[in-house]
A and B are shown apart, each in its own frame.
Chain A
Amino acid sequence: MEETLSERSIVVSFRPSNGKLFDCSFDPSQMTVLQLKEKLARETNIPADSMRLVYSGRILKDEDMVDSYGVKEGHTIHVVRGAANQAAEQAAANSSSSGGASRYATPSTSSSPASSSSVNPFSNPPPTRQLGSNSNNFEQDLMRGMMNSPMMRQILSNPEIVRSMVMQNPTMRQMIERNPEIGHIINDPSFIRQTMDMARNPELMREMMRNNDRALANLETIPGGFNHLRRMYHTLQEPLESAGRHSDNSSEAANQRLAQMLNVESPPEGQINSTPLPNPWAPRNHNNSGSSSTTTGSSLSQTNPFGGISNFGFGFPGSILNFTTPPIGDRIASTTNQTSTSQTNQTSQANNSSSTPSSTSAGVSTTTPSFSDPDLFRRFQQAMQRYPQYLSRPHQQTFYPTSLFGSPNPFFMNMQQSSFGAAQPTTIQPTEPPEIRFRLQLERLEEMGFVDQAANIRALLAAGGDVNSAIEWLLQNSNS
């Protein structure tokens, strides 16, 4: 390798995994990989200690000279953002294990601006996913950092103080006064301690949530599981949720307004309601999410996926397109998802039935032993977390009809609101021909050696523009 011995700089391309190719010139015989990384850290915004460089199928080691890998003029080095190096990881592990709590645990923290902005159920994905998303990492870090201060740790390690903090919050106090069973939870030091444990370790929490979702799904498959889940829902979920909501007279008015907007008539008294549920996607004068004018073909023809389903809050699977044919048997799985992710939109019917202390305490007392159930923590945390929001935006929260019979299905509305935020970009009707729309993807496919442009376009159309799926499609079709 004569060139690498000469003392001159070469120009090498760098290819970040998510960004534009850029060039950088350096002298490979004078530079270690670590120095190169530091140089690159200024160009990209990847810190040197979490940057990894890959060239010719090898991961470059920090201490080696760059020229020992035979990098030459015009070659490309891949820049990958990896996990931070071990020292940093260790530090993070230490700090996260040393105590604190997060906004999920205490209402006092949930009133801080950062966290209240994150719990808007209309703009964010459901909490389970929210935990995994990047947008939340910043807040988690912030919160973890705050909770790691020795003072906070001291405070939060004492359940008594936490309890008094909770009780100092007037809205929490009201809630507890109205719902004695919530008070029991707060009085239970072990509950608080466990909540803190979970809250200060997001990994643990995420894991537990996942386990819970799976456990619920498994439960559903055993005989009688459905009934058990329903019972759990009625005895645990509803009281907790309704506890986080005060009976609001304006909800009736809001419901009526919504019903009017959707052209729904009240069902005749004492009769089975056979009128279909309205189509929330249908064009109408007022729309509350501002985005419902983008419609999908399948949903246009859809009128009543939920007519005839009883008052139990059936949701539908996460995709808008799926809901056209949801067999009832499958429903309980999505019900459990819905109940865990969309409590904000529970009907106020549930509210009415359980806001009387006698009925709820009866319900909860039968299940008190399962307060060690982390699922319950989660729901309780969510209820606590959301509570301040109800006060600030009562109208939005209670925008849903009192009864599922003959009125818009609240989950329908929920899905509409939550899914349009995410789905909107994909539902925009393409106007350009696929050759232009998929220009970049086509180039990439060609680079990879798929030369049949017509097939590439077909694959990209089938894959909705995703190169990886398109490759899969191409390979499958060429194999067969």
Chain B
Amino acid sequence: MYKIAFNIAWESLMRRKTRTWLVVTMIALSLSGLLFLQGLYDGMVTHMISTAIRSDSGDISLYAKQYRLEKNIDYHIKNIEMIKSYLDHLDGIDSYAMRLAQEGLVATAHKSLGATLKGVTLEDEHRFGKFDTFLYKGKFGFGAKNQNAIIGFKLAEKLKVDIGSRLVFTAQDATGEINAISFRIIGIVKTGNIAIDEGSVFVSMDTMSKFLDLSKSATQIAIRIKDSSQINNIQYKLKKHFHTLDVMRWDELYPMLIQMRKMMDLFNWISYAIVFSVAALGIFGVILVSILERMREFSIMMAIGTSYKIIRYQIISEAFVMAISGYLIGAFLGWCFLIYTASSGIDLRYFKAGLESFGLNAILYADIRFYYFLQAFSAVFFAIFLSVLWPLHVLKKIKPIEVIKGKTV
């Protein structure tokens, strides 16, 4: 029985190619649009999270207790050699970077601003987060005598300095004395991490240690792990071993990113609901009309002995064949959009200023996740299911002979 109904459905779809393609195209276009939007929104948040992890927090960061609250170098991490040794032997650690930071005043001959001076080891930063890829201008290095600095691009703009400009950084050292140190700018970085772009100056770890009179110490040890699903497990081990330190995950250090992700998820759902409702209404309308216009045909079939079950199965088969075709085409198109956007990105340089103020690049890259396709699959089939319910209800109520006689539909 079902084979016959499916054959009738197939014949009907093939003989009404325009209508069939209309529905399939509608499903495919709305679906590919949804997939594209979803991937793009997720890509934006993923990019922000990735930037924060690469440029600062890592997956997990270690701080001396109180440091994050008071930003005072009295609360620094000692025994860094022992910590290094432990991290070198801990399973699941990919890389780590030690940083020594102090807040102070950065000045040119004309202007001064509050900023954070960070002592880093560039080789470690390259391994840790490919920090060199953030280089916007100049060179990635501190020079042979470690007398050069790398500065965030927004800070450079505010100070109106460029490559080769000289800066003076003034801050309190570990003994409580106010010291000043002079650097020449060798590189400008653009990370997308607002805190770094607007307020950080990077110098070598050795220079920073001497400047602060604080050797073999760090204010932050940022750690990258191999498998992000192990983050809680590794955090637990680190907390257990270094109970005198704060052991923070990236999402605890950047709660704003989590809020942003939640907001984007909500935005995603709203966009999804709007686009999908419009598409579902379109699909519903086309299928409803296609069934209503064939009431006479169905009535003839019922009058000559076709059971309602066969016609119901025929209509459901038609709808689902269109849904599957639309889904496959739409998923393929969406996948192509996402693949392209994930590799080449979308160039939105026209909105550069606005995007950068949110820590986003002018070129947006999309994410591709398997669940997008599962979600879209469920959504399409839910819409199709809804779209056949009412027409089937109408069909069940009709009296075939009255439709044939033209009395009612």
A and B: bona fide binding partners: no
Chain A residues with CB under 8 Å of chain B are none
